């Protein structure tokens, strides 16, 4: 973080060089919600960014988050917290709805009563405060105090671990806006969490909701895996019971961050209404894949399973040509796990919203064969055992309707068994 500290010192020097009076021209451009991501990428190493979970909210996302947090120009008393504030983009976006007073000290005194922000890193906290100060100057407040005085008005923005928050820390907060870290953490292994590694954003949001008072309004930018991943079903149930919320899918976080995100926004209160996690409207009349096919992940894990057992035909994503039929096998290997009897369809688990086709399928039609299927493929085996049902499904899967369904319900980079089971095919 040493280079970020140097950047902050540059901002301090600029502040000290400003004359009292007309300085807006000098400070214009120093606070750009879109450029801070690029600036910090040049200052921080990849390891530092990963450790900090650094995804810096651009202007469009920040403004959308603030609008959906329920803030308005008419409300001049709300108290806003970003519990993982980073360089302060969401707090800065919040100030667009605040009044600006003639003098900087007046403006920051009022803003400081309403802006709360926490982060693990002192350099981020300094950057957030400095950028808020320059935002006030940009909007016409006249410099009338030292930098030390200006920073002092923002003393509710300080170093603190979000996971240390308790009820008292959130007692005065009316609105929470957040873009929590998308890092991977070890599971807490309590409550809704099972063993393994999970997305930090889910852990952070759960912790904040457990301690925020009822009636608090929240707007959170979150990775799509929380909305659509099968392992986060208990997390989604907890959120539905805690927040009367809406969900808005937003697509890719930014051009340099290959993660799709969504906005969760609403009000905290005990809720028995399930959140609508996607826009798909289902009908009792719909036929879905699981009505006619058993769906599972391929049992063979190539790097882990020893070359022992039955010498069987072996298929994986590289030897399964898209939208084609395998009627003779080119690879074999020994496997002592479960073999899959033909006929069946396999689809690739890897699938991105940027792909022209979200489902890529192959029909495995060799008669009377038991096949070792690698775990990067999802198997769709007809309950009837009939090859003609596989041909029928193959035509259904290659449709724009299936693409639209997949893009609506899951925008992370791997398909899940649950999503594939629910693909509409009628």
- Mean predicted lDDT score pLDDT of the chain: 89
Task: Output the pLDDT for position 273.
Answer: 77
Instruction: Kindly report, as residue ranges, where domains of CATH 3.40.50.12420 are found in the chain.
Output: 2-268
Tokens of 55: 């995804």
Nearest one of 134, 45, 43, 125 to 84, comparing CA atoms: 125
The architecture (CATH level 2) of 289-421 comes to Alpha-Beta Complex (3.90)
**How far is CA 369 from its chain centroid?**
42
3-state secondary structure 96-122: CCCCCCCEHHHHHHHHHHHEEEEECCH
Tens digit of each residue's pLDDT (9 = 90 or more) over 214-263: 999 999 999 999 998 888 999 999 999 999 999 999 888 776 667 889 99
Task: Output the pLDDT for position 20.
Answer: 64
d(CA 376, CA 13): 54
Kindly list the distances between the CA atom of residue 214 and the CA atoms of 174, 266, 312, in Å, as whole numbers in the listed order: 10, 11, 59
Nearest one of 297, 306, 413 to 358, comparing CA atoms: 413
Q: DSSP readout, 164-206?
A: G--GGGGTT-SEEEE-----EEE---STT--SSEEEHHHHHHH
pLDDT at 27 exceeding the cut of 80: no
Residue 252 bridge partners (DSSP): 260
Highest CATH level, class, for 2-268: alpha beta
* Mean pLDDT of all residues in 118-129: 94
Tens digit of each residue's pLDDT (9 = 90 or more) over 354-402: 888 999 999 999 988 999 999 999 999 999 999 999 999 999 999 999 9
Tens digit of each residue's pLDDT (9 = 90 or more) over 56-106: 677 888 889 999 998 877 777 899 999 999 989 999 999 999 999 999 999
Confidence of residue 152 (pLDDT cuts 50, 70, 90): very high
Cis peptide before 386 (omega within 30 of 0): no
pLDDT at 151 exceeding the cut of 60: yes
The angle formed by the CA atoms of residues 161, 162 and 166, to the nearest 5 degrees, is 105
Question: Would you say how long the chain is, in residues?
Answer: 426
Instruction: Kindly report, as residue ranges, where domains of CATH 3.90.220.20 are found in the chain.
Output: 289-421
Confidence of residue 426 (pLDDT cuts 50, 70, 90): confident
Tokens of 143: 């410099």
Task: Output the pLDDT for position 158.
Answer: 97
Confidence of residue 413 (pLDDT cuts 50, 70, 90): confident
- Which of 273 and 204 is assigned the larger pLDDT? 204
């Amino acid at each position: 973080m040493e280079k970020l500290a140097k950047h902050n010192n540059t901002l301090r020097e600029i502040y000290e060089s400003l004359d009292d009076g007309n300085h807006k021209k000098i400070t214009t451009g120093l606070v750009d919600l879109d450029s801070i991501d690029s600036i910090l990428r040049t200052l921080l190493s990849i390891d530092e960014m990963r450790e900090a979970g650094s995804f810096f909210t651009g202007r469009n996302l920040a403004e959308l988050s603030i609008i959906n947090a329920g803030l308005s120009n008419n409300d001049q008393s709300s108290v806003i917290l970003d519990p993982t504030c980073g360089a302060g983009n969401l707090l800065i976006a919040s100030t667009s709805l605040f009044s600006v007073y003639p003098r900087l000290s007046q403006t920051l005194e009022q803003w400081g009563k309403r802006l709360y922000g926490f982060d693990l890193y002192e350099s981020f906290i300094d950057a957030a405060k400095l950028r808020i100060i320059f935002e006030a100057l940009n909007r016409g407040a006249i410099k009338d105090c030292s930098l030390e005085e200006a920073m002092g008005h923002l003393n509710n923005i300080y170093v603190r671990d979000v996971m240390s928050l308790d009820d008292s820390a959130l007692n005065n907060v009316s609105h929470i806006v957040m873009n929590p870290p998308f890092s991977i953490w070890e599971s807490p292994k309590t409550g809704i969490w099972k063993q393994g590694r999970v997305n930090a954003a889910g852990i952070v949001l759960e912790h904040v909701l457990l301690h925020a008072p009822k009636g608090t309004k929240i707007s959170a930018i979150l990775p799509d895996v929380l909305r659509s991943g099968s392992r986060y079903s208990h997390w989604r149930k907890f959120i539905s019971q805690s927040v009367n919320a809406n969900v808005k899918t937003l697509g890719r976080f930014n051009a340099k961050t290959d993660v799709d995100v969504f906005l969760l926004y609403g009000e905290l209160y005990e809720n028995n209404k399930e959140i609508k996690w996607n826009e798909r409207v289902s009908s009792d009349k719909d036929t879905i894949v699981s009505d006619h096919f058993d769906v599972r992940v391929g049992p063979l894990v190539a790097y882990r399973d020893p070359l022992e057992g039955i010498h069987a035909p072996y298929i994986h994503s590289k030897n399964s040509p898209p939208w084609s039929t395998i009627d003779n096998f080119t690879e074999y290997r020994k496997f002592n796990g479960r073999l899959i009897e033909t006929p069946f369809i396999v689809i690739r688990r890897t699938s991105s919203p940027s792909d022209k086709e979200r489902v890529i399928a192959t029909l495995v039609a060799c008669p009377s064969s038991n096949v070792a299927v690698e775990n990067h493929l999802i198997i769709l085996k007809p309950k009837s055992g009939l090859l003609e049902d596989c041909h029928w499904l193959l035509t259904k899967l290659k449709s724009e309707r299936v693409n639209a369904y997949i893009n609506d319900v899951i925008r992370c980079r791997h398909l899940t068994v649950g999503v594939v089971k629910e693909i509409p095919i009628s």
